[in-house]
Structure 1
Amino acid sequence: CLLDFAPQGLPDWLESWKIDMVNFQSIISHFIETAITRYTGSIRTWTLVSAMNTGGVFGLNEETRLTLTARAIEIARQTDDSIQCYIRVEQPWGDYLSKGQHQLSPMQFVDAIDRLGVGLSGIDLELRIGYYPNGSHHHDLLDISKLIDKWSVLNLPLHLTLAFPSDDSDLDEKNPSMSKVQASQWKTGWSEAAQAEWVDLYLPLLLAKPSVTGVYWSRFRDQDARRFPYSGLINSQGQAKPALNTIMKYHRQYWRT
């Protein structure tokens, strides 16, 4: 993802430019153009912006985030009109709306961007189960099925980015952008076995949805999963978790080579 509008998602030095939105947009546009130009022909699908619906970075309001997101897609299209441009939606159930700080629901935000006609190719929904404040509560199969069907109404291809905790131990480091693991809502508690069980139960449903064209795991290794602790498929000792084997099982089943 090129732009992250979550807290601490953009470099600190950029904050001083937020009072000058013309130059702020110019800096972001130049960055997007440079990145896409560098990988022209190598990367065909880009997730350009994440957390634009929830925000938090530099106190940017909804209107500004909507404008910046639309501009990011425009610049990407102007740079290479053959690429696929996705945006990543945080908390697609709209958990954050309970804080009363947003006017637009997740779907309203994305629909507004799509209606601008800037060339949005698809939507990446974050299903970060068991995390707060930037994730979602555990939802059963019916809830997730309904969520995907609801987003399918926009007639845009859906990608799903998954995260599920394999532990709930407290970490010593103090990182304000890091989510916390919620009290266990899974029948056996958070564990590596529970992570694999969740994948085994939910992945077939996600793969069966016609509107879903891609399913991704958030972070491969725990040491890289700083924002969503213990969500990796490789633990801190470098050992594969059972969930990785479960994913590979479905990979062999659905994508035989």
Structure 2
Amino acid sequence: MGQMHFHVSDAAAEFFHQCRWNDAYLCGIEGVPWQTRNIFHPDNSQASGPVSSPSELPEGFAKSGNAGGRLTLTRSVATSAKLLITCPVEGIGYRVLTTCSLRCLDAPHRLIVELARGCCYRVRTQADTWQRGGLSLNEHFEELLAEGTRHFLDALQPKSASVNPHSGASLVSASLDAEKESAKSAIRAITILEKASSELGELFSSQSLAFRRSREPRLSTMMAVGVSPEACCAANGSSSGRPISPAGPIPSGGTAPGGNKPGSTATLANAVAGFGEPTSVIDNGIVPAFNAAAVRISWGDIEDASGTPDFTEVSKILDECASLGMRVIGGPVIDHREGLLPDWLTLMDNDFEKLLSSMTQFVEATVNQFRGQVHLWNAASGLNLSGPLRLDDEQVMRFSIGVLQTIRRCDPTTPVIMSIEQPCGEYLARHADGISPIHFADALLRSGLGLAGIGLNFRFGYDHGETHPRSALEFAQLIDRWGTLNAPLLVQLSIPAAPGNDPAARLQTSPVSLSPSINNQAELWARQQHEFAKPLIETLLAKQIVHAVVWDGASDRAPHVMPHAGVIDSNGNPRPMLPYLTKLREELLM
């Protein structure tokens, strides 16, 4: 067993207890998390002993005068590692902070100082790398970097540490003063360096976009919105009798060939927003904001009973896509998340061969039904997670390859992708089950089945299945890591714009604020959605390897999967994301 210890001084305790330390984890050079058990040992004798969650601490403990202690992370190996922990950053919100690579020692590392060191290293090295590649840095960034570095150096050697006291009492006093100064300087360094990181990310995206536009005045990147068949059903005032399900993303440009004639007056716009009037959504700007649509064609939504798929509502949606000249991403055909697979699969009594046969039968029927109407197949999503099927690693690969082979056999000309849930692998830090996301994707790409690309599903701000919030700089580095697979990427984003329960959402995971300063006001949440998503989307558009960006949320008035993720709220009012995406498409995209 390997343990890594971090000292939390009393001076840094308030900052630490605002961090989500119970979700912290350790990872190696590849960025793949180890399964980790986190324990906080309070120094305060009034505390009840070691705790594994902030909720176990006494009320008001974080603000007490003696709230420091030691954070211990335990894993199966004793090699060096980096700590990743979600912390509040003043003026920015919650962000993942990363230490540099640290050794496993009996003595604890100083947590706040090591986080400040990681911030300093990350910003300085990335700025140097991008500057060598032609990025121009501005004066504001240089000032932030210099000031943040100065505060980090002060944290390493506070002025009080240079005092040469003549008595034991003054020595203790000087030591306490030095510890307070060090913590204060480290927190200040983190704040300023994270602002420098945001500035650097903005410089990269703006200059990279300008370079791309000099060669490609209109970017070919697809900006897609998720569309659900149940949303179409709701727009028509009818019910399929099936549970509410989410809508997927759509790619850009072109007219879908063939297809059945629409059996309803509902347009795609109705399906997206759930409005009764065909022109309502267009008037509100949803369709002009996107150049593609991702239609959810999923096993759990279509086949309520074994062998009896109902394609009626999906056909209507695809016909509307064709009438609007929008290309279609169909899927995920298999959504391997709890509650999104057919209920009757539980009757198979862990018979994998029977499961494989049923899956093949459904995929074959689906692809044959919609061949020629779908321009990109999203074969499956979330098979890298343990999921409701509880498959072992060998079964996961056989199941994944079976899905891909079936689609390729039935529709050999349409490109196929496979989507990854939680691409940073946070699930590995808490559960031994599951496959490393990047290794899983690499194995599929090497399978020789002609996989056209990889989908990355990022869900920020939820209490289950979320990707921990990252800055645009960290996000860019993450996309670059996935880019080493040399496969086109489709990136899906889900970010809540309201707190609390969402009755129209299929998955009842709870939204979690991306900032400690945000209360339960829906307007603040909607603004937070826009402010958090904007730099990420612009970073994605700056990356040529990203071929499609999917916004997984159209209207909260219509049935959907993720709570409160729509660009239109449950009352039919546009959120700040909608005009932003509309303007983005008008100025940049085809």
Q: Find the aligned partners of 1:237 and 1:223 in 2 and give their Cα distance.
A: 7
Match of 1:25 among 356, 367, 372: 356
Q: Which runs of 5+ in 2 are unaligned?
A: 1-331
- 2:527 is matched with which residue? 193
Q: Which moved more, 1:4-13 or 1:191-200?
A: 191-200
Distance 1:187 1:87, change over 3 A: farther
Aligned pair partner of 1:222 in 539, 553, 556? 556
Summarize the Cα distance change of 1:238–1:49 in structure 2 as closer, same or farther, 3 Å threshold: same
How far, CA to CA, are the matches of 1:55 and 1:100 in structure 2?
Answer: 9
Partner residue, 1:254: 588
Deviation at 1:128, TM superposition (A): 1.0
Question: What is the identity, as a one-letter code, of the residue corresponding to 2:473?
Answer: L
- Answer whether contact 1:55 1:65 (CA < 8 A) is retained: no
Q: Distance in 2 between matches of 1:90 and 1:170?
A: 23
Q: Give matches, 1:70-85, under 5 Å.
A: 70-85=401-416
Q: Which moved more, 1:204-213 or 1:116-125?
A: 116-125
**Cα distance, 1:207–1:16 mapped onto 2, change above 3 Å:** same
| Matched residue, 2:472 | 141
Q: How far 1:121 moved relative to its partner?
A: 1.1
Q: What's the C-alpha RMSD, in Å, of the aligned pairs? A: 2.1
- Name 1:245's counterpart in structure 2: 579
The answer for the alignment partner of 1:10 in structure 2 is 341
Q: Give the TM-score normalised by structure 1.
A: 0.91
Find the counterpart in structure 1 of residue 508 from structure 2: 178
Does 2:47 match 1:47?
Answer: no
Contact 1:18-1:24 at 8 Å conserved across structures = no
Paired amino acid for 1:70 = I
Superimposed CA distance per residue, residues 187-210 of structure 1 (whole angstroms, 9 cap, x where no aligned partner): 656611121222332211110101
CA distance in 2, matches of 1:211, 1:228: 26
Aligned amino acid, residue 238 of structure 1: G
* Distance in structure 2 (CA, Å) of the matches to 1:171 and 1:102: 30
**Greater displacement, 166-175 / 63-72:** 166-175
Does residue 124 in structure 1 map to residue 458 in structure 2? no
Report 1:141-180 matches (<5 A): 141-171=472-502, 177-180=507-510
Structure 2 CA distance for aligned equivalents of residues 63 and 223 of structure 1: 41
Count of residue pairs the alignment pairs up? 255
Q: Tell me whether 1:235 sits opposite 2:569 in the alignment.
A: yes
Task: Give the letter aligned to residue 429 of structure 2.
Answer: S
Cα distance in 2 for partners of 1:180, 1:24 equals: 31
SS in 2 for 1:49: strand
- Which stretch shows the higher mean deviation, 8-17 or 83-92? 8-17
| Contact 2:424–2:437 (CA under 8 A) maintained in structure 1 | yes
1:135 alignment partner, SS class: coil
Q: Give the TM-score normalised by the residue count of structure 2.
A: 0.41
Residue 117 of structure 1 and its aligned partner are, at CA, apart by: 1.5
2-structure distance, mates of 1:232, 1:248: 14
Q: Which ranges in structure 1 are unaligned for 5 or more consecutive residues? A: none
1:90 is aligned to: 421
Task: Name which one, 1 or 2, has greater alpha-carbon Rg.
Answer: 2
Identity within the alignment, %:
27
Aligned CA distance change for structure 1 residues 107 and 187 (closer, same or farther; 3 Å): farther
Gap change, CA 1:38 and 1:192, over 3 Å in 2: same
Q: Is the 8 A contact 1:192 1:242 kept in 2?
A: yes
